């Protein structure tokens, strides 16, 4: 199925709809699952449809309140990441007066009900691994580990201060003192592995949500993710600078490794680590990147000097 057919399938199944399915299965926790916060990251959408179908047809039980959302359906229909703004930046006090801003206003009351949120994304470039991306604190450490959604977690100290300029979906939930997780599954697009992965984590989250055992106990039964923190940001600089083709997100890199193609301005990695978010913007005939230029050409992440719990949450 293509994205348009998937949107139609979601809309047909969702109650009250059109882009929200709410399941009331009991007075357990309130869980919110979001797919397609970015409109071109459609990989988890089939799994969301399957989940709703299983709930509606009684093959899946959940003794709490579950909301399943298509974040930015207009952008899905257009095959774009966003239309006017980036929806995953505008959960601020005063969202912009544009399509994503209006969508954020619609979604906020649903997110305000969440005890637990999982926002499923995909990356723009090929990725060597699925990964979590969110700040570390003990509660999120336990939930992410118990969910076992990815072997890697790109993390940072939990932000104490509210950033006034942007706010993501998961951050909006965390700012209310609830659990908000973001998981990047794979490179954007539809594929059976992503669908299976998304289905597995959504169902596991529902199991964890109603498990009477402490989340720390459930976390201890799963392997610990490998934590990674930012070690280097490479400013984009001159629009002629470029990475050689085919670099994958999270692939290992070494200090001194040349990341630019033959004949181009030299771009050399300064540290050992893993490449994060290599940028391949569209370019003109002279090979100069077209505006708007990304701020960075790439980043490098490395293991932190100790467990994040000891570094930041002790
Ligand atoms: Zn995304």
> How would DSSP label each residue in 184-230?
EEEESS--HHHHHHHHHHHHHHHHHHH--S-HHHHHHTSPPPEEEEE
- The CA 36 to ligand 1 mean position distance, Å, reads 7
3-state secondary structure of 277: coil
- The CA 138 to ligand 1 mean position distance, Å, reads 24
- The CA 113 to ligand 1 mean position distance, Å, reads 22
Q: Which residues make up the environment of ion ligand 1, defined by Cβ < 5 Å? A: 38, 41, 121
- The CA 277 to ligand 1 mean position distance, Å, reads 12
- The CA 230 to ligand 1 mean position distance, Å, reads 19
* Cα distance between residue 272 and residue 261, in whole Å: 19
Helical residues (DSSP H) of 45-191, grouped into ranges: 45-56, 73-78, 99-111, 138-147, 169-174
* Cα distance between residue 275 and residue 247, in whole Å: 8
- Residues 220-275: tens digit of each pLDDT: 999 999 999 999 999 999 999 999 999 999 999 999 999 999 999 999 999 999 99
- The CA 256 to ligand 1 mean position distance, Å, reads 31
214-221: average pLDDT: 98
- The CA 41 to ligand 1 mean position distance, Å, reads 6
* Cα distance between residue 180 and residue 252, in whole Å: 28
Determine which helix (DSSP H) or strand (DSSP E) holds 122, and give its type and residue range.
Answer: strand 116-123
- The CA 263 to ligand 1 mean position distance, Å, reads 33
What's the CATH superfamily of 3-220? Answer: Zn peptidases (3.40.630.10)
68-84: average pLDDT: 97
- The CA 270 to ligand 1 mean position distance, Å, reads 27
- Residues 94-133: tens digit of each pLDDT: 999 999 999 999 999 999 999 999 999 999 889 999 999 9
Q: How far apart are the first and last CA of the chain?
A: 48
- The CA 57 to ligand 1 mean position distance, Å, reads 30
pLDDT at 291: 87
- The CA 308 to ligand 1 mean position distance, Å, reads 24
For residue 119, list its beta bridge partners.
34, 182
Confidence category of residue 292, pLDDT binned at 50, 70, 90: confident
- The CA 275 to ligand 1 mean position distance, Å, reads 18
Mean pLDDT of the chain: 95
- The CA 265 to ligand 1 mean position distance, Å, reads 30
- Residues 132-158: tens digit of each pLDDT: 999 999 999 999 999 999 999 999 998
CA distances from 236 to 6, 75, 96, 298 (A): 37, 27, 27, 8
**What tokens does 146 get?**
């118990």
Whole-structure pTM value: 0.94
**What tokens does 170 get?**
């998961």
Of the candidates 55, 71, 78, the residue with the CA atom closest to the CA atom of residue 19: 71
Q: Who's near 310: CB < 8 A, 6+ residues apart? A: none
Of the candidates 211, 212, 219, 199, the residue with the CA atom closest to the CA atom of residue 60: 199
Worst-scoring range by mean pLDDT, 78-82, 162-166, 173-177, 198-202?
Answer: 162-166
287-297: average pLDDT: 91
- The CA 125 to ligand 1 mean position distance, Å, reads 11
* Cα distance between residue 122 and residue 129, in whole Å: 11
**What tokens does 7 get?**
């949107």
């Amino acid at each position: 199925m293509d994205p348009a057919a998937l949107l139609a399938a979601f809309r047909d199944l969702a109650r009250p709809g059109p882009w929200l399915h709410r399941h009331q299965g009991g007075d357990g926790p309130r869980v919110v699952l979001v797919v397609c916060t970015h409109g071109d990251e459609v990989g988890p959408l089939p799994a969301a449809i399957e989940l709703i179908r299983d709930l509606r047809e009684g093959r899946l039980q959940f003794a709490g309140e579950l909301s399943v959302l298509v974040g930015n359906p207009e952008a899905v229909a257009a095959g774009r990441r966003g239309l006017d703004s980036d929806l995953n930046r505008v959960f601020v006090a005063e969202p912009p007066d544009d399509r994503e801003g209006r969508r954020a206003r619609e979604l906020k009351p649903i997110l305000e009900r969440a005890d637990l949120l999982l926002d499923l994304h995909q990356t723009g470039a090929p990725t060597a691994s699925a990964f979590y991306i969110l700040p570390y604190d003990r509660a999120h450490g336990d939930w992410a580990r118990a969910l076992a959604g990815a072997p890697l977690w790109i993390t940072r100290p939990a932000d104490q201060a509210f950033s006034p300029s942007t706010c993501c979906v998961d951050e909006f939930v965390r700012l209310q003192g609830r659990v908000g997780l973001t998981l990047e599954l794979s490179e954007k697009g539809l594929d059976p592995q992503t669908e299976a992965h998304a289905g597995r984590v959504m169902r596991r989250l529902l199991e964890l949500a109603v498990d009477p055992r402490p989340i720390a106990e459930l976390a201890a039964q799963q392997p610990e993710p490998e934590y990674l923190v930012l070690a280097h940001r490479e400013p984009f600089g001159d629009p002629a600078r470029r990475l050689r083709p085919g670099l994958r997100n999270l692939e290992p890199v070494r200090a001194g490794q040349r990341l630019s193609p033959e004949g181009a301005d030299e771009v050399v990695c300064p540290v050992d680590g893993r490449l994060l978010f290599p940028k391949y913007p569209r370019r003109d005939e002279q090979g100069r990147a077209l505006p708007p230029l990304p701020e960075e050409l790439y980043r490098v992440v490395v293991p932190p000097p100790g467990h994040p719990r000891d570094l930041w949450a002790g």
